[in-house]
Chains A and B, each alone.
Chain A
């Protein structure tokens, strides 16, 4: 059983949403580099 009496598989849904927010920030800062000539 995970936090708040939630089964882990159900609790994972909250974690997935949170992880998406973190990853989108990482992607925007470090991973995605639009080229100058891409910026139309």
Chain B
């Protein structure tokens, strides 16, 4: 069978499963809490694997392969730090308290938590606006990544590829909300895992074993097997930190802790998420292997697609393609829910203090997710140069804005609203300025953003009045009435 037809059949079957999940979960989405956080009733497997799927977009699989191709085996450390800091420690440190505190404060979003924890409308609005603006840029980059995959592997024109993926995502997100997102992400995590493991087994076999891969890489350049190798410490460490510690401030991932059923379930989820994230090492590893098999690739981002096409059967290659598309779709869908809740619940209802009944919020949240998805799609069809530049800033800016207010908000009773607001502005401005200056010393903008944001938070909190004891008691010791 022609491989293009095979790809189309596998992708079509996969998309049908997503539509089915959208229809099934749509029946269970009856309230705003269901739409935003699945009614806080999500189990460990679905929470953990949907976290993994949302963590790794197609940009990571394709881009990770590209990094492995360019810089070699030292990039395995990015995957390892993803497992250590981005997942295991993140779940242990943030998970329990975020779950408890957000329920006590009755909040469903990250900006909503800031608004209640710090009694600050500025923190609510500033974080919501930053999330909306930069998440849209991030979504555009994800759509772009998916469009190029369709183009390279299936010969589907860029515009048609992203149109197809977007319509399916908008359908199931608008109907099923968060439940549809986590259940489709659960399926997508399995597709990603199977695709990456399959690719790894066959690429190692093609090169003659891991030892042979390392010898061949060392023959090309010994820096391709050494750590930090040809990338150098500043680039490797700062990149590993932004894609690991930065996760602690990413709303589409942190919201998983809001929605998990209870703390016992969270324990099991931590183990599953840690195991699942181990697949993060595989794109880098496969990218490095591709360097030995195809040393003359013009574009490093083609490493994974070309490797899949050459070492796998057409069916296996189609599964890897489905994995890459799955990675993009799960992240895009997770972000749509965050965007919808930020616009409707945070900015419109709380920020502008509109009295809207719960049914109307649910309706407008569905409309908002469809509209925002459509805007992302239109921008992605022909992204202006400025948007492309800003997509590279998205993670750094969002994480620099939200990370300290979240972390210190659940661990430091002395944290104040002024400290939070000053930290948000300083962290955001520093990371933006650093990236705009062209990343001096090869250091990612997240690093200065997070250092300045943290310092400003602590200093301003210490020189401004603490919250009254009753407010702190409410957050730290109040018990849920539910």
Residues of B203-222 at the interface with A, using a CB-CB cut-off of 8 Å, are: 209-211, 214-215, 218
Contacts of B480 in A (CB 8 A): 40
Residues of B263-302 at the interface with A, using a CB-CB cut-off of 8 Å, are: 263-264, 266-268, 270-271, 274-275, 278, 281
Minimum C-beta distance from A38 to chain B (A): 6
Per-position binary interface string of chain A over residues 6-40, scored 1 when its CB falls under 8 Å from any chain B CB and 0 otherwise: 11011011101110110111011000101001111
Task: Tell me whether B23 is interfacial, beta carbon within 8 Å.
Answer: no
Stretch in B72-80, B366-374, B461-469 with 4+ CB within 8 Å of A: B72-80
Contacts of A21 in B (CB 8 A): 83, 271, 274-275, 278
Residues of B183-236 at the interface with A, using a CB-CB cut-off of 8 Å, are: 209-211, 214-215, 218, 225-227, 229
* CB-based contact B263/A13 at 8 Å: no
Contacts of B209 in A (CB 8 A): 4
Per-position binary interface string of chain B over residues 246-270, scored 1 when its CB falls under 8 Å from any chain A CB and 0 otherwise: 0000000000000000111011101
How far, in angstroms, from A21 to B82 measured CA to CA in the complex?
12
Q: Smallest CB-CB separation from A26: which chain B residue?
A: B271
Q: Smallest CB-CB separation from A40: which chain B residue?
A: B480
How far, in angstroms, from A37 to B210 measured CA to CA in the complex?
50
Contact A7 B270, CB 8 Å, known A13-B281, A38-B100, A39-B264:
no
Task: Tell me whether B96 is interfacial, beta carbon within 8 Å.
Answer: yes
* CB-based contact A28/B271 at 8 Å: yes
* CB-based contact A20/B83 at 8 Å: yes
* CB-based contact A10/B275 at 8 Å: no
Task: Tell me whether B120 is interfacial, beta carbon within 8 Å.
Answer: no
Contacts of A27 in B (CB 8 A): 92, 267, 270
* CB-based contact A4/B263 at 8 Å: no
From the candidates B91, B103, B227, B270, name the one contacting A10 in the complex (CB within 8 A): B227
* CB-based contact A10/B74 at 8 Å: yes
* CB-based contact B482/A40 at 8 Å: yes
How far, in angstroms, from A17 to B84 measured CA to CA in the complex?
7
Q: Say which size band chain B's interface belongs to.
A: 35 or more
* CB-based contact A5/B84 at 8 Å: no
* CB-based contact A28/B268 at 8 Å: yes
Task: Tell me whether B104 is interfacial, beta carbon within 8 Å.
Answer: yes
Contacts of B267 in A (CB 8 A): 27-28, 32, 34
Contacts of A40 in B (CB 8 A): 99-100, 103-104, 262, 479-480, 482
Q: Smallest CB-CB separation from B217: which chain A residue?
A: A5
* CB-based contact A28/B270 at 8 Å: yes
Contacts of B73 in A (CB 8 A): 6, 10
* CB-based contact B211/A4 at 8 Å: yes
Minimum C-beta distance from A24 to chain B (A): 4
* CB-based contact A25/B262 at 8 Å: no
* CB-based contact A7/B83 at 8 Å: no
Contacts of A10 in B (CB 8 A): 73-74, 76-77, 225-227, 229
How far, in angstroms, from A9 to B215 measured CA to CA in the complex?
16
Contacts of B96 in A (CB 8 A): 32, 34, 38
How far, in angstroms, from A13 to B267 measured CA to CA in the complex?
24
Contact A14 B274, CB 8 Å, known A5-B215, A6-B225, A38-B263:
no
* CB-based contact A9/B227 at 8 Å: yes
Task: Tell me whether B88 is interfacial, beta carbon within 8 Å.
Answer: yes
* CB-based contact B103/A24 at 8 Å: no
Contact A5 B211, CB 8 Å, known A10-B225, A40-B104:
yes
* CB-based contact A17/B263 at 8 Å: no
A residues whose Cβ falls under 8 Å from a Cβ of B: 4-7, 9-10, 12-14, 16-18, 20-21, 23-25, 27-28, 32, 34, 37-40
Known: A27-B267, A32-B96, A38-B263. 20 other contacts (CB 8 A): A4-B210, A5-B214, A7-B225, A10-B73, A10-B76, A12-B227, A14-B80, A16-B80, A17-B80, A24-B88, A24-B91, A25-B271, A27-B92, A27-B270, A28-B268, A34-B96, A34-B262, A40-B103, A40-B104, A40-B262
B residues whose Cβ falls under 8 Å from a Cβ of A: 73-74, 76-77, 79-81, 83-84, 87-88, 91-92, 96, 99-100, 103-104, 209-211, 214-215, 218, 225-227, 229, 262-264, 266-268, 270-271, 274-275, 278, 281, 479-480, 482
Sample of 28 A–B contacts (CB below 8 Å): A5-B210, A5-B225, A6-B214, A7-B226, A7-B227, A10-B73, A10-B74, A10-B77, A10-B225, A10-B226, A10-B227, A13-B76, A13-B281, A14-B80, A14-B281, A16-B83, A16-B84, A20-B84, A20-B87, A20-B274, A21-B275, A24-B270, A24-B271, A24-B274, A28-B267, A28-B270, A34-B96, A34-B264
Counting from the closest, the 9 A-B pairs by CB-CB distance are A34-B263, A13-B76, A5-B214, A13-B80, A40-B480, A4-B210, A24-B274, A9-B227, A16-B80
